[in-house]
Amino acid sequence: MPAAHSAPLPRAAATYEAEAAQVVKGKVESNHAGHTGTGFVNFDAVSDAYVEFTVQAEQPGATKLDFRYANGTSVDRPLDVTVNGTQAANDLSFPGTGAWTTWKTASVTTPLAAGTNRIRVTTSGVDGPNLDSLIVTPQGPTDTEKPTAPKNLRKDKEPTTTSVSLAWDAAGDNVKVTGYDVYQHGQLMKQVDGSTLATTVTGLTPGTGYDWTVFARDAVPNVSDASNAVTIATLPAPPDGEAPSVPQGLRATGKTATSVDLAWTPSTDNVQVTGYDIYRDGAAAGTSETASTTVAGLKAATAYRFKVRAFDAKGNRSAFGAEISVTTAGSQAGGVPDPGTVKTLASGVDVAWGVAFLPDGSGIYTERNTFDVYRLTKSGQKTKLGKVPNSQTTGGEGGLMGVEVSPNFATDHYVYFLHTSSDGNRIARMKLENNALSGYKVLLDGMAKSRYHNGGRLRFGPDGKLYAGMGDAQNDSRAQDKNSLNGKILRINPDGSIPSDNPFGNAVWSIGHRNPQGLDFDSQGRLWQAEFGDNIMDEVNLIQRGGNYGWPNCQGTEGSCAGYIAPKKTWPVSSASPSGLTIINDHVFVATTRGQRVYRLRIDANSDLVEQKTYFEGTYDRLRTVEVDPDGDIWLTTSTDKDGTAGNDRILLIDIVYSNGMTPTPGKPQPTSITPTDNALTPDKPTRNDSTSRHTTPPPTTP
């Protein structure tokens, strides 16, 4: 059922322990039972002893202050209360509680300012009570009104080779704009306060165009819609006509039936070597940031010629180093899935965002910006099935995103979509019959949208539940809020209802995510997830029921990460931006946009990701989605130019090759009655990663 919309709820109370506040002429003790925290404050027997709490308020307004205390005497021990230096109560009564282990509250309601408030309680007689804590409860509804979008974002000062200066007009808010967030294509670059309307972003790459937007936020924080977008390029680097040195020592360090590992001695340059061109049989076969690469998509027992040259940031290229010849292996032991030959299934595609498969083996894919849904056969026949109603773009990462086919499609004909609408992101269901979509029904809504960070992946689990990745919609405070559906992995029943075993009584399965992307299950029924980081690192996570993955306090392994679940793999954001994830025989394949490559990692017996291989780096540009089909081959989609030009993307078919030459066992698992445990385990149940190539059926592996 769709999420209900209701009036704003009262804001939540917050507790501040007295022993953690500023204590003057008093001491922290813990000799009387029943206190909260680690102790309480025993005032000195003087008339000017005090405790001062520092309290944060989301917005201004009346607030109830409950002071928890004990007074084992029969005499009232009043305290004076001030807020930011202004008297809120004179001689507030703290009467006897009957015993020092009996705790009660004394209350006063007073206005607080938005932001930081100093609340001081001072002895007004000779002595005060034992003070345990302060409970702060805002009165009235939460401020749910977001600021208006900043307008007229523009170039301020002239750019330099490494900086861009921006200015914008002030946003408005019903309470107060407290800050502005400056983004570059979904990456938070800088934050300034609410009175600042211009800033300079440094540390950029020379001669590079950057896509800028600004968002306003208030104290809650509510975050505005995006400003207008502007593209501003840094100035070119100083003239540099010197090419890097020629790469030396090219050699093969490993090979399979479909790939060759190469390495060489790094080149040098007067400024910096930024990469290497890899050529195979005289034609460009990709690039590499480092002095090693894997060239995939090859044929077994075949000789190939390889050569490498270096380039710098100005496009100066060295001569090629010596060419070598390598013959691929004829066969390979074990069930390792290796990418073989590649062909184009469909061209003229516009941001093919989601891919799923029908029982007959044909694929369904969504176009994010056109909202069209297509059926595509393995022979390349394409049929338009219709549009998903109420879809809307965000001018960035939102639109028609994930697609998933019902495990019971043969009888119910359902196809599921995650898309952006006028009122936010939602999960919907339609029927597919006679090559046409119909019967649009919203299953879950109430997820905020933004230009970026909309998540979007869908995946049915072996438990028959539908899992979804939902981004924080550029408001990172949502990721730790269990009542928000943003910054989460979500889990619902196929009819949209909430499973009774979800950890928080709503659709939330795990929390603390920034912008979760690829989802898939391994041979033990455990959920793996890829996630866009901000400006430090991207990650792959093993998802647990109710798990907290740290955002915004922790990004990958950087920040305040104690107490959060650590990722199983991280990469620098420049080398990844992992959008798609699929698993074959407990080998995780990850497609990357900014990294323009596919990673493959094996899940080992300790549930770690090991033996990383990198395929197709710089070969097919930005890569969006990777999915294994019922035959065990991979469909790979592109997002060529940051998604700004219609119809310039492709869907590629990668032939996955195994050993043994046996008949495959294709097919997608049917749902079971087993429910994942706290570690999302459903042992002994097959998952889609049991799919194998039509060439071979590898032996089973145990992670």
Over residues 54-107, the pLDDT tens digits come to 998 877 788 999 999 999 999 999 999 999 999 999 999 999 999 999 999 999
Tens of pLDDT, residues 370-397: 999 999 999 999 999 999 999 999 988 9
Checking if the pLDDT of 677 tops 80, the result is: no
Q: Residue range 666-695: average pLDDT?
A: 36
Has 5 been annotated as catalytic? no
More confident residue, 128 or 7: 128
Q: Is the pTM of this model over 0.75?
A: yes
In sequence order, which residues have a C-beta less than 8 Å from that of residue 562 and are 6 or more positions away? Answer: none
Lowest mean pLDDT across 49-53, 54-58, 333-337, 685-689 = 685-689
Of residues 320, 341, 327, 317, the one with CA closest to residue 260: 327
pLDDT of residue 59: 73
Q: Would you say residue 6 has pLDDT above 60?
A: no
pLDDT mean over 267-274: 96
pLDDT score recorded for residue 700: 31
Of the listed ranges 309-313, 410-414, 475-479, the least confidently predicted one is: 475-479
Over 90: is that where the pLDDT of 535 sits? no
Spatial distance between the Cα atoms of 533 and 544, rounded to a whole number of angstroms: 19
Contact 627, 612 (CB under 8 A): no
d(CA 415, CA 443): 12
CA of residue 135 relative to chain centroid, distance: 34
pLDDT of residue 115: 77
- Closest by alpha carbon to 528, among 559, 573, 569, 481? 569
Strand pairing category for 516-521 and 40-43 = unpaired
Mean pLDDT confidence for 416-424:
97
The SS3 of residue 18 is: helix
Cα 549 to Cα 555: distance, rounded to the nearest angstrom: 9
The phi and psi torsions of 411 (rounded to 5 degrees) equal: -110, -30
| CA–CA separation, 502 and 489 (whole Å) | 11
Over residues 569-580, mean pLDDT: 94
Is 349 a residue whose pLDDT tops 70? yes
Quick: pLDDT tens for 236-258: 989 999 999 999 999 999 999 99
Band (pLDDT 50/70/90 cuts) for residue 333 is low
pLDDT at 435 over 70: yes
Residue 683 has pLDDT above 50, yes or no: no
Give the model's pLDDT for residue 695.
Answer: 38
Name the helix (H) or strand (E) containing 411. Answer: helix 409-412
The pLDDT value recorded for residue 138 is 87
Distance (Å) of CA 307 to CA 283, 617, 639: 10, 16, 28
pLDDT for residue 703 is more than 60? no
With contact defined as beta carbons under 8 Å apart, do 157 and 234 qualify?
no
Nearest CA-CA partner of 389 in 358, 408, 356, 417:
417
d(CA 554, CA 399): 28
pLDDT for 332 equals: 60
Per the residue annotation, which of 32, 35, 413, 453 is the catalytic one?
453
When the pLDDT of each residue in the chain is averaged and rounded to a whole number, the result is 90
pLDDT on residue 334 = 63
Instruction: Identify the pLDDT of residue 165.
Output: 98
Closest CA to 47 of 78, 22, 72: 78
Question: Taking a C-beta distance cutoff of 8 angstroms, is the pair 519, 527 a contact?
Answer: yes
pLDDT for 691 equals 37
Which residues have CB under 8 Å from 315's CB, separation 6+? none
If you ran DSSP here, which 8-state letter would residue 1 be given? Answer: -
Give CA angle at 690 (685, 691), nearest 5°: 145
